[in-house]
Structure 1
Amino acid sequence: MADSSKDIQLRELKDMITDLKKMIKTLQATVDAANKREEALTQERDNLKDEVALLRKKLFGSSSEKRTLDIPGQLNFFNEAEMEQDPAAAKAEELEASLPDKTGKKRKARTTDAERFKGIPVQKKYLDLADGEKFCPVCDTALEEIGEEFVRRELVFIPAKLKVYEYYSKNYTCPECSRRDLPVIKKGKDGKPHMLYGMASAGTVAWVMYQKFCNGLPYCRQEKDWKQYGAAITRATMANWVIHNSEAFFLPMYEYFHRKLQEREFAMADETPLQVLHEPGRRAQTKSYMWLFRSGEDGGPPIILYKYSETRAGDTAVDFLHGFKGYLMCDGYSGYNKVPDAKRTACWAHIRRYLTDAIPKGKELDYAQPSVQGIMYINQLFHLEDMIKTKYTSFDAIKKARLEKEKPIVEGFLSWLDNQSPVRGSRMDKAVTYIQNRRSYLATYLEDGRCSFSNNLSEIAIRPFTVGRNYAVSRIMFCSAA
């Protein structure tokens, strides 16, 4: 029996409903995918905006890493009362705070001209009358000097002057022996053989090195200065002075201090890129590196050495620190892991730097921001570190104070770190990843009072190269092993 029209219509409606449900599911999946794509694009946009804000802050903002310990309007994370448990001092502080005439922090006294110019020779200049004016305008009587009065003080810069010393030896002979065909001749000597390469004196070579490596003044600019002084000294000549004299006089001393550094138990290291021109077999745009190795804060005499390398490979650190056994303070670069007998310690200044970069624009005082919370922990550690170093001088006392005061904060910081789940790809995500990768090194400095808390000393020592690395460098060999 043929289906009735109602049955056919009913089946068509059921098929239509099924098709509509499939269409709804397809549209819903499309909408969900679009929402996810929009969310990802929005997050990517926010990350890029944060990157732009960070670059602007690095370019135009303050470069100081100093941060206030407390946030206005918020309670401090930590109780610092245990650092100074002196009831008498606390009562005196409360009494001082209750006084009505209590003022704020005393400002540093302004430095006087006499203090600024202390040690500089002083020459008096007199403002005198002309000879024709030393008569009374009323009775035309000659005036008498009655004293002097201070008017002003000026700092006068006297440009450098060059001199050329020509050494001649005076020769002497014996007239009596000359008559007997046995001439005796003596020549004047200073007992100091000329060992410098080139015609420059030791002071001249030292000045060129100081300008180049301390002030970051390239040879091309020094060449112009020498021309103003009246001497045509080319940059190639200056480079030869520095290279040959450094190899002759500094290399033995460098190798001696290198051996002494390898015998120490605490060392610090850092590296920075620089560009070298006219290097055989390499393009001028190729990136090279200057490595710094120095002794740690172990109370011994400081040793600071530089090592030039064409690459950033960790083999440079392995070769330089061959034989070193002890604690090594460095940044997060994984190349230092190749040093076999070195126990790495983490730089807390680098960790704070990453968290500082993760703070959203305008949220520096927002206590709810995870990056601000992390910085609060680290600022407290820096504060305690300063107080401990000021209060204690023995390394055993420093270690004991660190374990008592700083270890709980480090543990609290690690617990806070485990609870962080930042948005993937954000600056906070990069900061958390950076810290987690160095988690095993964070508490190493607590093992010995001689361990460094940060790598700031290395960064300060390598700063001259970062200042001058934008200039063209003809050749770098100063203080580097051959």
Structure 2
Amino acid sequence: MKNVPKDETNNAEMITISRSEYEALKEQTSEQSRQIEWLMQQIRLGQKKRFGSSSERMQEEVMEQLSLLFNEAEAYTQAEQPEKTEVAAHTRKKRSGSLEEILPDNVPVEVVEHRLPEEERICSACDTVMQEIGKEVRRTLVIVPAQVKIREDWYFSYACQTCKAEALETPVLKTQKDKPVISGSFASPEAIAHIMTQKFVMGSPLYRQEQELNRSGVMLSRQTMSSWILRAAEDWLKPVYDQLHRQLVQRSVLHADETTLQVLREPGKTAQAKSYMWLYRTGGDTGQPIVLYEYRPDRKAENPKRFLEGFSGYLHADGYQGYYTLPENITVVGCWAHARRKFDEAVNSLPKSEQKESSAIVGQQYCSKLFAIEEKLKDLSTEERYTKRLELEKPVLDAFLAWAQTKKAAPKSALGKALHYLQEQWPHLTQYLKDGRLELSNNRAERSIKPFVMGRKNFLFANTPNGAQGSAVMFSLIGTAKENNLDPYRYLVYVLTTAPNLDQTQQDWVTQLLPENAPEQCRVPHSQRKCEE
């Protein structure tokens, strides 16, 4: 076998190309590598969103492993480390399975007695009838589905029989009638309130309610139910909504958020086009919270500007640029939950073997540190929280920004997006330091808009703009009722029963219907409130 010299072998495998071709291939390979890495990040993020926990809090063991990283704060700020604050341990009471603890006090008790007939109580020893000496009681919980019945209101008339006998003009008295919730309809406040709460609290669309009623023999169509709730919302709930709106813009701390909604018959738009449901609510500084939704066909910045006309103060919001065109008397406060989410996504876009040593997890830890400090300050007064934030959180913020300015990442990478969001939003993210009433995140608004998002998964879309705005009114009153510890069904029954009989010529007639003035029977018992929390 002939040996081929080494040099000849190498020369046979070598291909000569120009410098320009080499540089082009090198750039093409680098671009392909970046695309592959980006696609791998999207796959890992998709797997995390589908199968992983939705919580963005860092695991305790990871926090412990990375705790030394916070020594960087000293290098950037030369600030003293804050003293540790001891927090008393909290233990949750184990829920009991007894009826006394899971039910309110006013639940009726039905007693069913089981006795032996006399012929079966004959003593086998002396043939005399045995007498009762005791009983054994077994208690069970009975749940009866929604009952359907007809209520007849009889309004009696009265006449003077003496005058009638003497052929005089006979006086007649009639019992005053309560005005119906919908004139000419057999709908009752209880029926309308039930349909509303089933849809907007329990997430049961009208077609499902129709099927359930039909199975019970009640042939009530979804069209009739839709007509009832929209008419009641327009006549009696909308005035309450408008009054709550007037009160909302008088507050000085608000939250805002928005989400998509599909409206099938929107003029000038296709059925697949996006419309929006906007949410505005009060902050945690009030004992009478207000939660209001508004339907709009688009996401233009004019929407919050118009809705918040007359408002002056702080507005918590996410990074949507439309909020930053609001008048100067409205200060937009950024959301650290959104910033943390960006770094959380950057961490989860990496292979697990690379996460602990990554810059992304350092950014995530800075965010988690802020939330940890804020948790310890939640029970302080407004003035104390303001002071403590400057003492404990301001050094962390300064160190975080200094650290972020030293980091570079590809703009389209998850880390690059997180760093860009952080630095772009920084002036708004630090606004919460100005007032102890402000919050670190806009999670309060996100929690309030979640019932609509969950309901949307069931009813999917609205048919018309009027239906969408009617839904906004009903979601608003139900959300405000829940925030004020009212039972939505009982509160709606109260409004729909009381409103038609009020003197609407009086300027403040609607004040009686506000959640803050609802009667005691509308309130959720304290024991049930704890269970919901």
TM > 0.5 fold call: yes
CA distance in 2, matches of 1:309, 1:266: 23
CA distance in 1, matches of 2:167, 2:120: 77
1:400-422 Cα distance to aligned partner (Å, 9 max, x none): 00000011111111112112211
Choose which of 111, 115, 119 in structure 1 pairs with 2:95. Answer: 111
Determine if the alignment matches structure 1 residue 160 to structure 2 residue 160. Answer: no
1:275 Cα shift?
1.2
SS in 2 for 1:165: coil
How many residues matched?
438
Higher mean alpha-carbon deviation, 212-221 vs 399-408, is at 212-221
Map 1:192-207 → 2, pairs under 5 A = 192-197=178-183, 198-207=185-194
Higher mean alpha-carbon deviation, 313-322 vs 46-55, is at 46-55
| Alignment partner, residue 20 of structure 1 | none
CA distance in 2, matches of 1:150, 1:128: 13
CA distance in 2, matches of 1:149, 1:481: 52
Percent identity over the alignment is 34
1:302 Cα shift?
1.2
Determine if the alignment matches structure 1 residue 180 to structure 2 residue 146. Answer: no
| Alignment partner, residue 31 of structure 1 | 22
**Structure 1: which amino acid aligns with 2:316?**
M
| Alignment partner, residue 318 of structure 1 | 305
CA distance in 2, matches of 1:85, 1:365: 34
Higher mean alpha-carbon deviation, 395-404 vs 221-230, is at 221-230
Determine if the alignment matches structure 1 residue 476 to structure 2 residue 468. Answer: yes
Report if the CA contact (8 A) 1:275-1:287 is conserved: yes
| Alignment partner, residue 369 of structure 1 | 358
Map 1:79-478 → 2, pairs under 5 A = 82-84=83-85, 108-114=92-98, 116-119=101-104, 120-121=107-108, 147=134, 154-178=140-164, 180=167, 182-190=169-177, 192-197=178-183, 198-340=185-327, 341-359=329-347, 360-363=349-352, 366-390=355-379, 392=380, 394-470=381-457, 471-474=460-463, 475-478=467-470
Higher mean alpha-carbon deviation, 406-415 vs 222-231, is at 222-231
Normalising to structure 1: TM-score of the pair?
0.81
CA distance in 2, matches of 1:30, 1:223: 70
Q: Which has the higher contact order (CA 8 A, sep 6+)?
A: 2
CA distance in 2, matches of 1:481, 1:308: 9
Report if the CA contact (8 A) 1:417-1:432 is conserved: yes
**Structure 2: which amino acid aligns with 1:367?**
K
1:195 Cα shift?
4.1
Closer, same or farther in 2 for the Cα pair 1:272/1:131, shift >3 Å? farther
Gaps of 5+ in 2: 1-14, 72-80, 475-533
Choose which of 59, 72, 75 in structure 2 pairs with 1:68. Answer: 59
| Alignment partner, residue 8 of structure 1 | none
Closer, same or farther in 2 for the Cα pair 1:405/1:175, shift >3 Å? same
CA distance in 2, matches of 1:46, 1:168: 76
Closer, same or farther in 2 for the Cα pair 1:367/1:277, shift >3 Å? same
Report if the CA contact (8 A) 2:233-2:473 is conserved: no
Determine if the alignment matches structure 1 residue 50 to structure 2 residue 51. Answer: no
Normalising to structure 2: TM-score of the pair?
0.74
CA distance in 1, matches of 2:124, 2:362: 79
Closer, same or farther in 2 for the Cα pair 1:131/1:261, shift >3 Å? same
SS in 2 for 1:186: strand
SS in 1 for 2:468: coil
Closer, same or farther in 2 for the Cα pair 1:36/1:49, shift >3 Å? same
Report if the CA contact (8 A) 1:173-1:184 is conserved: yes
1:146 Cα shift?
6.1
Closer, same or farther in 2 for the Cα pair 1:64/1:148, shift >3 Å? farther
**Structure 2: which amino acid aligns with 1:155?**
L
CA distance in 1, matches of 2:455, 2:473: 21
**Structure 1: which amino acid aligns with 2:102?**
F
**Structure 2: which amino acid aligns with 1:457?**
R
Closer, same or farther in 2 for the Cα pair 1:356/1:130, shift >3 Å? farther
Higher mean alpha-carbon deviation, 380-389 vs 32-41, is at 32-41
Gaps of 5+ in 1: 1-22, 90-104
1:235 Cα shift?
1.6
Closer, same or farther in 2 for the Cα pair 1:108/1:256, shift >3 Å? closer
1:129 Cα shift?
7.7
What's the Cα RMSD here?
3.1
Report if the CA contact (8 A) 2:58-2:365 is conserved: no
1:352 Cα shift?
0.8
CA distance in 2, matches of 1:175, 1:143: 61
Higher mean alpha-carbon deviation, 263-272 vs 196-205, is at 196-205
Closer, same or farther in 2 for the Cα pair 1:230/1:108, shift >3 Å? same
SS in 2 for 1:111: coil
SS in 2 for 1:358: helix
CA distance in 2, matches of 1:385, 1:364: 31
Report if the CA contact (8 A) 1:250-1:479 is conserved: no
1:171 Cα shift?
2.8
1:208 Cα shift?
1.4
